[in-house]
Amino acid sequence: MHHTPEPGHDDLDATAGPPPVFHAEQALLCALLLEPQRLGEVTGIGRDAFSTAAHAAVFRAISSLPAADPVDHTQSTHWLDAVLSAAREQASGLTATYLHHLIQVCPRPRHAPAYAQMIEAEHARRRLAAAAQHLGHTARDTSLPQPVITTLDEADTLAALLDDIAARFPPHAGSLHRTRVPEPTPPPNQEALGEEQLLLATATAFPTVIEQMRWLTPGDFTHPLHAGLWQCLNALIRRDTPVDPVTLLWEAQHRRLLTAGADPRELLDLLNGPLGSPDHWGERVLQRSLLATAQHTSQIIEAFTNDPAITPNQLVVGSRRALADLSAVRTRWQHATTPAPAVPPSPTKPRRTPHVPRAGPPRTTAPPAVRSSR
């Protein structure tokens, strides 16, 4: 039976408490308020590492004010009053009551470095989540004049962030936590289907170009039939088999691409009417694949950051694996769009001047007669 709370009754179970990092922030601030000299033991975090504006303001005030004298601090509240006054400049709602509460929640002030590392770990998670979201947003932005370049720049920014996190959290033994990541599910796109059909039609009409398009793989296509037909074209080229719509239809039948009841004329119609060049449409298909891979990469990394059981080191390992798939497509994109280097002409060998014997001394007698041999 569904429980309905009575009017005026506080259902404490219905409200989730703050995350563990909130308590780590309180414990660190408490340690620094009780023993300000421990600020030197806290490294690697700034005010932006805290999850609330009030905590960030208190930490900024503690960091900016001169450290209190240990003896005077135990007998006077002057330094605490100064901290409260400075913190209120950034968080006007901060009260003396909350500062007094902070002073009472630290289990062990000497554990301040451990509390700081917890805060830094959660901050790294938030930074990585924001970078992944930015990558996904950029890859989906159709208004960008150069979407591939801009998206790859965001991927480089995310990779640099991973390097920074890895430097702050050294690796340790342990396997990657099993986090359920989303499967790539590209939405139906009529423009993408049309470009893939034009690629197949032009490649069938000009099959000699296919050998130079090794940078395009079946996984770059959005439709399974189109991916299978691209495999068929490459198979025909490798076997040095004539390529035309009919031979491609025959190869597709052997690869079970023609479903039961399918009309072969539909496939022949798909391959008719080539327009443009195969490499042009191939680059369009590859660009769409790169942007889709970037979107999926961002979703995987976001899934990691949303799993509180993953450690910072596991975040780095899993995110780098996700970026490796994008790097592989990036390499193929560079091969596709980089002009082939011009082949320098072979150096021509200088023509050899026929050997002319040196002139001897002038003859003073007639040359001897040559006797004929019989």
CA nearest 90: which of 48, 127, 124, 119? 48
pLDDT confidence of 348, banded at 50, 70, 90? Answer: low
Dump pLDDT digits (tens) for 279-296.
Answer: 999 999 999 999 999 999
Q: Which residue has the higher pLDDT, 100 or 151?
A: 151
Distance CA 260, CA 343 (A): 50
Segment 89-108, tens digit of pLDDT: 999 889 999 998 998 888 89
Domains of the chain: 18-107 (1.10.860), 123-184+290-337 (no CATH), 190-286 (1.10.860.10)
- Residue 368, judged by CB atoms within 10 A of its CB (0-12, 13-18, 19+), counts as exposed
Is residue 291 within 8 A of residue 148, CB to CB? The reply is yes
Name the pTM for this structure: 0.80
Q: How confident is the model at residue 272 (pLDDT cuts 50, 70, 90)?
A: confident
Spatial distance between the Cα atoms of 248 and 192, rounded to a whole number of angstroms = 21
Q: What does pLDDT average to over the chain?
A: 85
Tell me how crowded residue 58 is: count the other CB atoms within 10 A of its CB: 30
Task: Read off the tokens for 159.
Answer: 């990779």
Query: How far is 244 from 247, CA to CA, in rounded Å?
Result: 5
Q: Are 24 and 118 a contacting pair, CB within 8 Å?
A: yes
More confident residue, 17 or 300: 300
Q: Which band of pLDDT confidence, cut at 50, 70 and 90, is reported for residue 176?
A: low
pLDDT of 114 strictly over 50: yes
Express each pLDDT in 178-210 by its tens digit: 777 777 776 668 899 999 999 999 999 999 999
